[in-house]
């Protein structure tokens, strides 16, 4: 089987991390400078978990703004679609992106709200803190009951939902 044939096969990806799946181009764009693969990937002979985990520092550093989060989510979904991934479970830790200028609510909203307009029948998505202040609510406007069923099973929606697995 050739690489091209392998690429064409439909696939599922049951475990991928947003910060660990960004393309070189996406990280470069968000950093505003050229980087090497060595800056993103641990060496084949890496024998230290600390060194390995340090490779996440750079991608996590570009997930500190709403724009970075939106572009990253899109980058991972687009790369997966190009490899014919039809179902994927992406996870990330929103709390790694929270700081004094970015709330957890905005981190989650940045990843989910751009789905509106990309999925047929999904007109509007909003993530807001509830009045009680403790919980985060997801508000969606859909064209019809059929649109809701379509949205519920849509791969982009499923992928986004899985990103919040680590929140539970
Ligand atoms: Zn994992």
**Ligand 1 centroid to 67 CA: how many Å?**
24
SS3 letters across the chain: CCHHHHHHCCEEEEEEECCCCCCHHHHHHHHCCCCCHHHHCCCCCCCCHHHHHHCCHHHHHCCCCHHHHHHHHHHHHHHHHHCCEEEEEEECCHHHHCECCECHHHHHHHHHHHHECCECCEEEEEEEECCCCCCEEEEEEECCHHHHHHHHHCHHHHHHHHCCHHHC
Report the alpha-carbon distance of residue 118 to residue 156 in Å, rounded.
9
**Ligand 1 centroid to 91 CA: how many Å?**
8
Does residue 2 sit within a domain?
no
**Ligand 1 centroid to 55 CA: how many Å?**
15
Counting the structural domains of the chain, the total is 1
Does residue 3 sit within a domain?
no
Mean pLDDT of 112-132: 70
**Ligand 1 centroid to 16 CA: how many Å?**
6
Enclosing domain of residue 95: 10-167
Does residue 1 sit within a domain?
no
Whether the model pTM is above 0.85: no
Does residue 65 sit within a domain?
yes
Report the alpha-carbon distance of residue 127 to residue 136 in Å, rounded.
7
pLDDT digits (tens, 9 = 90+) for 64-88: 999 999 899 888 888 888 888 877 7
Helix axes 145-153, 155-162, angle to 10 degrees: 60
Report the alpha-carbon distance of residue 35 to residue 25 in Å, rounded.
9
Closest CA to 93 of 23, 162, 152: 162
Angle at 13 between CA 6 and CA 126, to 5 degrees: 130
Most confident of 43-57, 83-97, 141-155: 43-57
Does residue 4 sit within a domain?
no
**Ligand 1 centroid to 17 CA: how many Å?**
6
Can you give the pLDDT at residue 117? 67
Of residues 110 and 31, which shows the higher confidence score? 31
Does residue 31 sit within a domain?
yes
Does residue 54 sit within a domain?
yes
Can you give the pLDDT at residue 115? 65
Report the alpha-carbon distance of residue 168 to residue 164 in Å, rounded.
7
């Amino acid at each position: 089987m050739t690489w091209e044939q392998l690429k064409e096969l439909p696939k599922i990806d049951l475990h991928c991390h947003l910060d660990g799946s960004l393309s070189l181009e996406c990280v470069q764009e968000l950093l505003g400078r050229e980087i090497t693969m060595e800056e993103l990937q641990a060496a084949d002979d890496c024998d230290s978990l600390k060194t390995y985990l340090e490779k996440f520092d750079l991608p996590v550093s570009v997930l500190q703004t709403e724009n970075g989060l939106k572009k990253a989510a899109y980058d991972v979904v687009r790369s997966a679609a190009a490899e014919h991934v039809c179902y994927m479970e992406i996870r990330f830790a929103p709390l790694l992106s929270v700081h004094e200028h970015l709330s957890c609510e905005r981190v989650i909203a940045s990843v989910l709200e751009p789905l509106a307009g990309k999925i047929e029948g999904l007109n509007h998505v909003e993530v807001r803190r509830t009045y009680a202040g403790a919980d985060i609510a997801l508000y969606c406007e859909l064209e019809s009951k059929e649109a809701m069923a379509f949205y519920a099973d849509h791969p982009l929606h499923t992928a986004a939902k899985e990103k919040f697995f680590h929140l539970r």
